[in-house]
Structure 1
């Protein structure tokens, strides 16, 4: 069975350059239109709210001050250190969730009895807000970093489990029956058929987990640490640098969009191979 790298190469090789260029041009064009509309609505709404008496100190939330502050952040070394710290926490938290959740999802999807046994506790635990675990994390873990890893892992493990299990349930039954007739055992089925066939759903679970982790990250970084995007947002709020605060918010959105786009690119590449 071809590897992921072969699928990626096949995807990049088989795309028509002209059609790809046209598609990219159209996407960029519509994206620019959407961005322009967003900026206009932001400007109008901000002007109507922050020019009222008593709200003048919040003019930093307007687009022009925000863009200037964002440019200043790009030149600030502390900003890049904070991005690195936040990305590290997200990656480690999702990695922990993936190591725990992916095997569990494979087993739940493969063994129907295990699926029925684990359904109530999984549905119960996934409905608990990740931030509700914050007091427990502070009591259990001696370090704030470990507490943040725990919160992100708790937020992202359930979509990984459920999407992986769903991917297993969608595997072609004829492939499994054919492998069994050839003498394949359950371990061989999981390693050679189930996992490769479930890769698109596993990637979808990682994409969903990334979005959740990126949302949970900022409030999780309020736990007394001295680095990260959540920390510098809190610092900007305390110092009433509202333009800088809004610039950080915009930066978080941009970084999250780039991370999501990278996973989406891999998903599209794999779809061409399956």
Structure 2
């Protein structure tokens, strides 16, 4: 038991060291290849951190953040509502899996961002095209992981359910859903990473709020240190969301 905390501390220390090395490379890149009085100085860690502290004191930053988090949540919920039922069906019926796998693999390989012009023409600007693009990006890991979870269910569980004369709904609720929950959570974690990457360019679709919009605003105002501060903040928030998803998955695995 005593080895686990020390191992966790060691891993945490190594992680912090890696982040410090990344920061050092950033500082060296700016100061070795840029001029102290030039444009590159606005992208330095010192200027970025000063702007980040200033931004954290502004109410507008939190308004943009809440808008972006809302879009992430809606996109993820839509992906769950579509991906989990489809994954359950595909994993349960081999003919359906054979019929849909080529089409799904084809669609999965199309970048969600390539749909941006089409979606804007059909839906206009605003939240609706963003929700569509986010759901399209997030649905595939959830769908495929759910289907894989169904295929890996222990057949003895299903046989036991049938021997007890359980209805399909009871089998789904008591056997299948608990059995695939770990795979669904894995798909959710992967989807969150994809959503966070796709969100920023999606928020450049003519909307007036969100982290992606705020980055464009800092560029237009030539506030480059604020732009770098937003890039840094987006990285920190994405890391926190991934850590939250990993924590939920770990908690379920040890439950």
Q: When the two structures are superposed, what TM-score results if normalisation uses the length of structure 2?
A: 0.94
Shift of 1:45: 1.5
Shift of 1:159: 1.1
Contact 2:125 2:206 survives alignment (8 Å): no
Shift of 1:225: 0.9
Structure-2 residue corresponding to 1:57: 39
Q: Name structure 2 gaps, 5 residues minimum.
A: none
Query: Which of 78, 95, 120 is equivalent to 2:60?
Result: 78
Shift of 1:112: 1.2
Q: When the two structures are superposed, what TM-score results if normalisation uses the length of structure 1?
A: 0.88
1:137 aligns with 2:84: no
Structure-1 residue corresponding to 2:241: 259
Give distance in 1, aligned partners of 2:11 and 2:59. 33
Please provide the CA RMSD for this pair. Answer: 1.7
Structure-2 residue corresponding to 1:46: 30
Structure-2 residue corresponding to 1:37: 21
Shift of 1:29: 1.6
Other structure's SS at 1:211 match: helix
1:234 aligns with 2:216: yes
Give distance in 2, aligned partners of 1:141 and 1:217. 17
C-alpha spacing 1:194/1:151, structure 2 compared with 1 (3 Å): same
Shift of 1:20: 6.1
Quick check: 251-260 or 171-180, which moved more?
171-180
Give distance in 1, aligned partners of 2:60 and 2:3. 42
CA deviations over 1:222-254 (Å, ceiling 9, x no partner)? 011111100111111112211110110010011
Structure-2 residue corresponding to 1:113: 95
CA deviations over 1:163-213 (Å, ceiling 9, x no partner)? 111111111111112212222343332221111011111001011111001
1:101 aligns with 2:83: yes
Give distance in 2, aligned partners of 1:148 and 1:50. 37
1:249 aligns with 2:234: no
Contact 2:64 2:210 survives alignment (8 Å): yes
Quick check: 147-156 or 170-179, which moved more?
170-179
Shift of 1:35: 1.6
Give distance in 1, aligned partners of 2:185 and 2:3. 26
Q: Name structure 1 gaps, 5 residues minimum.
A: 1-15
Give distance in 1, aligned partners of 2:54 and 2:187. 35
1:149-160 equivalences under 5 Å are 149-160=131-142
Give distance in 2, aligned partners of 1:269 and 1:233. 35
Give distance in 1, aligned partners of 2:31 and 2:47. 12
Quick check: 25-34 or 252-261, which moved more?
25-34
CA deviations over 1:18-65 (Å, ceiling 9, x no partner)? 66654543333222211211111111122223229xx92132111111
1:89 aligns with 2:71: yes
Structure-2 residue corresponding to 1:128: 110
